[in-house]
Amino acid sequence: MEQYATFFKSMLRHPLQTGSVIPSSRYLAQTMVRDMDLKNASCVVELGPGTGAFTRTILSQLNPQAVFFALEWNPNLVTFLKREFPNAEIHCDSAEHLGKYLAERNTKADYILSGLPLSWLPKDLGERVLDTVHESLTDHGKFSMFQYIHSSMTPMGAQVHHMLKKRFRSIKISRTLRNLPPALVLTCEK
């Protein structure tokens, strides 16, 4: 229940950065990781974990020797995440600084998962984040993000799809109706 209260407070304080009124469902989390071989991954990164809906699923499937860290800009959510996942590495920082954390480890990510509301971000910030994501992936790495079905049909949603097509060689789209609101998962391969 604390997860919902924390998420709702965050949404009230920062509605454009939070992007929803409730956390993502476990069904959306399962769809986000479905095309990822987390058991054999060396490095996995989560951007915008919120209250950890995807984090829980990632950690349950991840190889214990793999590097995992998450970047969350909201300090209140970071505090919650550190309590909820005491063994996970959570940083209070913007997704556009992802490269710094990978450079410190001298590695690239096999998989990057994002809970960021890219269609709500200013276009230049979205472009910088996606450039950083693309540069941070291994040669055949994958990036997974979601858009709510209703926002995917807006000009901003189409803009995000266009930005992804510029950077990735393939984009697989899956639907998750068992989420409020229903969502599309976009799994992009470098």
Domains of the chain and any CATH numbers: 2-189 (3.40.50.150)
User: 151 pLDDT band (50/70/90 cuts)?
Assistant: confident
pLDDT in tens, 11-51: 445 554 445 557 889 999 999 999 999 999 999 999 999 99
Q: Is the pLDDT of residue 121 over 50?
A: yes
The per-residue pLDDT for 46 is 98
CA distance 181 to 147: 10
Q: What is the mean pLDDT of residues 85-102?
A: 97
Q: In terms of pLDDT, which residue wins out, 25 or 10? A: 25
User: 123 pLDDT band (50/70/90 cuts)?
Assistant: very high
Closest CA to 53 of 136, 143, 114: 114
Q: Is the pLDDT of residue 4 over 50?
A: no
Task: Give the SS3 label for residue 177.
Answer: coil
Strand blocks (E) in the chain: 43-47, 67-72, 89-92, 109-114, 137-148, 170-176, 183-189
CA distance 77 to 116: 13
The per-residue pLDDT for 10 is 52
Q: Is the pLDDT of residue 108 over 50?
A: yes
Q: In terms of pLDDT, which residue wins out, 3 or 36? A: 36
CA distance 181 to 78: 24
